[in-house]
Structure 1
Amino acid sequence: MKVSIITPMYNSALYIDETIQSVLSQTLTDWEMIIVDNNSSDESCMIVESYASDDSRIKLIRNDRNGGAAEARNKGMDIALGDYIAFLDSDDFWYPTFLEDMYSFSSKNNYSFSYASYQIAINSLSNIKKEFRVPAMATYESMLKVCVISCLTAFIHRELIADTRMEGKINEDYFFWLSLLKKTPQAYGHQSALAIYRLRQNSASRNKLKVVYQKWLGFRTRERISFWKSVYYFSHYFWHGLKKYAFSLKKH
């Protein structure tokens, strides 16, 4: 199998249909989609089960508690069979050539870690406000300054991931990328925008104060970076975050 797609889900009945449809529309068809539900109380699981009954590539795992996105993604990685791992949250969207383009980009160039540009939409997928164009390369050092790898476009060889897993409930994907970039010199960016990242007011990533604090804490405790170096990297992160969201997205 070429690709395992891992999707954490919690009360996503309003969006999961569009997300699954974007996977079913992929031009590369050799994939499995592992949807890990964190004890949803809405109709999310019913929607997924209706798809899974028609397509054996779609698998639903139901947790009896909400342990967060990282725990759900880890459970998906534990059972994934694909050569490559991709992550797609339950409210995001891939354009039809995402898997084909990323698989070709990665396998032909022997890249173990790659990512792509994407668009940012507010609430509705049709309400696109900005395109985030990624750099051609990301290293551990450059990622300390600004995170250019989004969860919905990360494309990683399973051998690189090995037993590395996500930790925590905030910035878990960012520090996961850093862990992988300690094992490989760089990740490579596909310049075309191949996905849509949906910003929602009630999404976990929108609590920016917690995100900022956990980023600083991660620099000091997880990465063991000195105080003044942490100040240096954090100032870069904060400025780029302002440019990406506060300055670039119109009010909605």
Structure 2
Amino acid sequence: MPVLRPLVSVIVRTKDRPETLRVCLESIILQDYRPVHVVIVNDGGVDVSDVVSSLDDSKNSAEVKDNLVLELLQLETNVGRTAAANQGLEGAKGDYICFLDDDDYWLPTHLSSLVSHLCASDLERVDTGYPECAVYSATKAVLVGVGENSEGAEIEQEIKVYNTAFDRNHLFYSNYLPIMSVLFSRAVVDAGVRFDTALDLFEDWDFWLQVSEKIPFIATSDVTSVYRLHDNASGVHDAVQVEGAYLAIYNKWLSHYSSVDFYELLRKTHQWRDQTTDELQRVNQEKLNVIGEQHTHAVETIKAKDANIMALEEAHSYALSVVTEKEEDVKRVSKEYEHAVSVIQEKDQASEGLVREYEHAIEVIKEKDLVIKQLALDLQKKSETITFLEQENAALADRISVLERLRNTSLVGRVKRVLGR
């Protein structure tokens, strides 16, 4: 038996919503399952080829490109949701097919979860090695509100989880299969199953009723898809249109039911209502429990905050007393500072007087130095004069001594000559 790795075709209907289309397609690219073939049917809306091409270019490796193909069908005019869905079915090449409208998205495990349940099923395989069946996941319905969250995305509020076991009578009673949650065998398409173009609303409900006549359904409890609802959405909020759509479904399908089937349908209606009520009560009780826990936590938090406030008030009171003491200290220090400033000013004035006296003393000393230098010069000159006189006196003394010797020898002539010299 071959390894179950079927090609999955995803049909995306879009019209004039390029931004939500980008988010939708990104959720397909992020799927952890391959191979995938995406057929984007632009129902006469604005050109979205740039959105598709930019996402196609973002697929990095050749392996990814080979296993994920984005194919755009541009319809020249608006043919409506039903006809656009049929166009997508005609272009689907996969062994299994699913839908994802441009305003919804999948979690990354959506396709791998559904295919794994196919592989694990005990349904009979056909020649391709794949069972001819449909499998669907649980779906979270969210109400899209006004504004954006911290990540810049629109605010989504969960309002319901579609998670109902399959029952064909129950399916006739109400449509519990969001279109983005079901993966079905292309055998039903080959058998001629198409969307009824006479229906403008509930066309997907009619489609699942057709599929249920051909192949079995498998339900899983994995929440892997997100169905986004808007307050301003048209159609499903129009009571007259809804009533007409119900009548169209019943007129088409009541003939398929025998009286026994119809009795069984009516008998189980109360059961399904009770199950729905019980489920709502269970969900509400869970939410009440969560609210109760949150309330208890809030009360405890408030008590803790009150204790913190009391501690802060005590700390504030103590801080005020400290501040008062500090202010008194500041005043005292300010007075001491002012006194110190006045003392410094007096000292500065006294210092200025001493500087002036010092400068005068320097001038006097300079004058005295000049006088001393002059006296030194005078003294030096007198010393030189005395030395000169002493030398002259010595010379005279020498002459006197010579004269005395000459006189003593009575050499008058010699003396004359000497004197004459």
TM-score for the superposition, normalised by structure 2: 0.51
The equivalent position to 1:129 in structure 2, one of 145, 154, 158, is 158
Contact (CA 8 Å) 2:44, 2:79: kept in 1 or not? no
The equivalent position to 1:72 in structure 2, one of 80, 84, 91, is 84
Q: Between Structure 1 and Structure 2, how many residues are aligned?
A: 240
Cα 1:54–1:14, aligned 2, differ >3 Å: closer, same or farther?
A: closer
Determine helix, strand or coil for the equivalent of 2:135: strand
Q: Which runs of 5+ in 2 are unaligned?
A: 1-5, 60-64, 124-130, 146-153, 284-421
In terms of mean alpha carbon deviation, does 202-211 or 28-37 score higher? 202-211
The equivalent position to 1:207 in structure 2, one of 215, 218, 237, is 237
Does residue 1:86 correspond to 2:114, yes or no?
no
The Cα shift of 1:126 comes to 4.9
Higher helix share: 2
1:1-252 matched pairs, under 5 angstroms? 2-41=7-46, 44-54=48-58, 57-109=69-121, 110=123, 112-123=133-144, 126-139=155-168, 141-162=169-190, 163-167=192-196, 168-184=199-215, 186-209=216-239, 210-224=241-255
What letter matches 2:187 in structure 1? E
Contact (CA 8 Å) 2:142, 2:228: kept in 1 or not? yes
The Cα shift of 1:181 comes to 1.1
Cα 1:9–1:52, aligned 2, differ >3 Å: closer, same or farther?
A: same
Q: Distance in 2 between matches of 1:215 and 1:5?
A: 28
- RCO higher in 1 or 2 (8 Å CA, sep ≥ 6)? 1
Higher strand share: 1
Q: Distance in 2 between matches of 1:105 and 1:114?
A: 8
The Cα shift of 1:232 comes to 5.2
The Cα shift of 1:74 comes to 0.9
The Cα shift of 1:194 comes to 0.5
Spell out, residue by residue over 1:80-127, the C-alpha distance to the aligned partner (whole angstroms, 9 max, x if none): 111100100001010000000001112331461111111112226651
Q: Distance in 1 between matches of 2:222 and 2:160?
A: 10
What letter matches 1:37 in structure 2? N
**Same amino acid, percent of matched pairs:** 19
What letter matches 1:27 in structure 2? D
TM-score for the superposition, normalised by structure 1: 0.83
Spell out, residue by residue over 1:125-182, the C-alpha distance to the aligned partner (whole angstroms, 9 max, x if none): 651313414223232x121112121101111011133221001321111001001111
Larger Rg: 2
Cα 1:159–1:178, aligned 2, differ >3 Å: closer, same or farther?
A: same
Q: Distance in 2 between matches of 1:4 and 1:39?
A: 22
The Cα shift of 1:202 comes to 4.0
